[in-house]
Amino acid sequence: VDAAKLDYTRDINLLDAGKGLAFGAHWSMTTGDIRFLIFYARFDAGIGFDIMLKDYGDAHCKGSSEQIGLNGWYANGQAYAYLQGQIGLKFKLFGKKKKIVIFAGGGAVLMQARLPNPVWLRGYLAGKYNLLGGLIKGRFRFKVELGDKCEIVGGSALDGIVVIGDMTPKEAASDVDVFAAPQVAFNLQINKVFELPDDTGDRKYKILMDTFEVTKDGQPIVGELEWNNSNDIAVFYSHEILPPKSNIKAYVQLHFEEFINGKWETIMDDGKIATESKEINFTTGTAPETIPLNNIAYMYPTVDQKNFFIKEYDKGYVNLKRGQSYLFDAVPTWDKTITITSNAGEILTKGYSYNPAARQIVFSLPKEIATETDYAVSVKLVPDQMDTDSNVTDTYVSKDVGEGESGNEVEVRSRQLEDVIIKGDERELLTFEFATSTYETFDKKMNAMKNRKDLYEHVTHPYGLTLLTGIDPLEPFDLVELVGNKYSGNAPLIIARAIPDNSYYQNQIYPLLYENYPIEGEISVSRETDRVGIPPVEGVEPMSWYLTYLENDYTGEISDYNPYRYNLTHYYHQDYEDLRYQLVSSDLPWESMTRYKKLIIDPFPLMKKGKYKTKLQYVLPGQVKNGGDKTIKFTNPLYD
C-alpha cells in the first residue's frame, strides 16, 4: 500500500434542535505496481460514508419491539465504494518489452446505509470490463444488498437526507456587521436533476427551494438572492443594510420532487409535503456614520481617476451596493451638499440628491471644473442656518382684569416654537479624489492620437501576427479606462472591439472556423469565451507591459504607444488548432465531410497585408450613458 488516509470532509451541523448530527468520511488507497512472475497489476480502491446520526428515542423496526441503534441513536444516509484497476502480462517480443492487458475493470457503488443494530446496505454496482485486449468488453449493473432492512416505526422515510449544509452568520452570533449577507450552503444542487438507482432503475429527483427569507421582528427585509454557478450556495443581499442593533432571523425551506410518468410530482411524507428547513437567529451591530468605500458598486468620477473628461457627461453619481438611507433620513432638514476643491484651493459647491430605490447619489458637475487639475470631493450633510428669532411665533390673548368693570383688559403674549432646531457640526459622509484629463472629451483625445509607426510581433507561429502602433506623444491612458477597477463595477471605461470587415477575416478565417460553428452542433472551442467571444472580436487587448507601467506609476515611454494590440490572429490560430484536433478525435465521419477539408488538411492562413479596424467606445460605469467612440486602424505592414 503506497498511501492510505482518513479524511473528514464535512462540518458538523446541529439538526432538529440538537437531536442529531451529520458527518462523513472517506478512505482511499492505491496498491502501486504489483509484479509476480510475468504478471503485473495495479488497483485503486476507496470506501466512504455520508450519514446522519439521530436520536429516534423509542422507535423500533417494524415487526420488532427492540429499540433501534445504540440507545435509540441510529445512522441513516449513504455509503459508497469503488475499485478500479487492471491485470496484464509483461514479456519481450522481438527484443522489445511489451505489456498486454488481459483484464481491465472498474466498478462503483452508491449505497443506502442504515446502522447499527440492525445494519443494512443496498446499492447498485455498475462498471465496465475489457478482456484480452478488447476481444471481449462490455458493461454491467447489478443489485447489492447486505444485512436486514429496518422499516422504522416512529421515524420518517426521509430521515438521513440532509440537503441544507450550513448557514451564516452562525446561530446566536452577536454584533454582526450590518453589511453582512446571510447565506446558505447546500449539500446537493438546487433545482438540478439528479438520479438515484433502485430496483426499477435510475429514478430522477430534484430539490426546490420554497423560501429564503430574512426578517426583523417578523417583518420581511427587502432584498434579492444571488446563486453561485453550481447552484449550491444562495446569498441574500438586502437592498438596505441590515437594521442595526436588531434581532434578525434567516429561514430557508426546501421540498423534493420525483419524475414519475412523464411529470414532476411532489414527494409526500405521511400525507404532508416532505420538506427540510433551517433557521438562524443573530443580532446586528451598529451602523457606520459614513459611506464605506467597499460599499460602492460603481461611481463617476471614480476614486483616484486620472483622466476625467470634464465635458463627457454633465453629472456625477455614486451607486451603493447596499442602501444607507438612514444617513440621509436622520436629519432631513440639513442641506445635502458636495464640495469639489481644486489643488489650488478653489472650492466649488453643488447640491445632491439621494434615491433610496436606486441606492444612488446624483449631483450636477460644476461648469467651472478645469482640465489638467486635481480635485478632492466631499459629500456632506450641512446644518441649515435657521435664525433663532424666525423660529418663534408670537400670539396675544386678551384677558378681562376689571373684576366686572368694563374697559379693563390686558393682552398676554404667548410664544410658540415652529420647529425643533438641530445644531451640530456638518457630517462628512464620503471623500475621494480624482484628476481631470488634458482633453475635455474622449473624442478630442482620440482625435489627437496620431499614428507614427506600424509595428508587429510574431505570435504562436510564424504566420500569426499581433499588430501594434507607435503614436506621437500623448497623455497616457488610465488603468480604470483600460481594465477597470472596483469603483467602475470592475469594467473598463473603454470597450475595444475589432470590426471584422477585412478580407482576411471574411474570405479566409470566417469560412474556415466560424461559418459552421459549432461544428455539427457538437464541437466548440475549449477556451473560456466570456472575455473574448466567438468570433474573438474582443481580442484587441491592452498591452501587459503598458499596464505594468501604470500599476507602478511610471508613465515615461508609454506615452509613445497606443495601449492596445490587435491580437485576433492569436485567437484565430488557437481556435484553429483546437477545433481541428477535436474534429479528428471525434466519432464524426470527418473523412467524408468535405466542408471541413481545409480545417483538417490546409495550414493556418497567413494574415494579409492591410488595415484592420477597431472601435473604441467610452462607456460610463454602470452603463449609465455611452460616451464618444472612435474607429482606429492597425496596419499589417508585411507583404502577402
What are the mean pLDDT values of the chain's consecutive 10-residue runs (640 residues total)? 35 43 60 60 64 69 79 72 64 54 62 73 65 57 70 53 87 96 92 72 85 96 94 95 97 93 89 91 96 96 96 95 93 93 96 96 96 97 66 59 57 52 75 97 95 80 78 94 96 96 96 95 92 94 94 86 95 94 91 91 90 95 78 84
Task: Find all residues with CB under 8 Å of 587, minimum gap 6, and list them.
Answer: none
Query: What pLDDT, in 10s, does the model give residues 128-171?
Result: 656 555 555 666 566 667 777 776 665 543 455 678 989 999 99
Transcribe 81-133 into DSSP letters.
Answer: EEEEEEEEEEEEETTEEEEEEEEEEEEEEEEEEEESSS-EEEEEEEEEEEEGG
Residue with grid cell 433502485, as numbered in its chain: 198
Please tell me the predicted confidence (pLDDT) of residue 73: 77
List of E strands, 217-304: 219-220, 223-227, 233-238, 247-260, 263-266, 268-269, 272-273, 275-283, 296-300
List of E strands, 116-176: 120-131, 136-147, 152-153, 164-168
Strand duo 39-55 + 20-30: pairing:
antiparallel
Tell me how many helices (H) and strands (E) the chain has.
7, 40
Please tell me the predicted confidence (pLDDT) of residue 330: 82
Residue type, 198: D
Strand duo 219-220 + 201-216: pairing:
antiparallel
Residue type, 254: L
What would you measure as the largest C-alpha separation in the chain, in angstroms?
147
Compute the distance between CA of residue 307 and CA of residue 515 in angstroms, rounded to an integer: 41
Task: Find all residues with CB under 8 Å of 450, minimum gap 6, and list them.
Answer: 471, 472
3-state secondary structure of 446: helix
3-state secondary structure of 624: coil
Residue type, 60: H
Quote the DSSP letter at residue 488.
Answer: B
* Start-end of H helices in 218-349: 325-329
Bridge partners, residue 269, by sequence:
272
Alpha-carbon distance values, 549 to 477, 478, 540 (Å): 11, 11, 19
Strand duo 183-186 + 164-168: pairing:
antiparallel
Compute the distance between CA of residue 223 and CA of residue 607 in angstroms, rounded to an integer: 52
Distance of CA 40 to the CA centre of its chain: 48
Please tell me the predicted confidence (pLDDT) of residue 409: 61
Going by C-alpha positions, the residue among 555, 560, 513, 512 that lies closest to residue 534 is 513
Dig out the grid coordinates for 632 from the structure: 482606429
Transcribe 571-592 into DSSP letters.
Answer: HHHHHHHHHHHHHHHSSS-GGG
pTM for this model (two decimals):
0.70
Please tell me the predicted confidence (pLDDT) of residue 70: 77
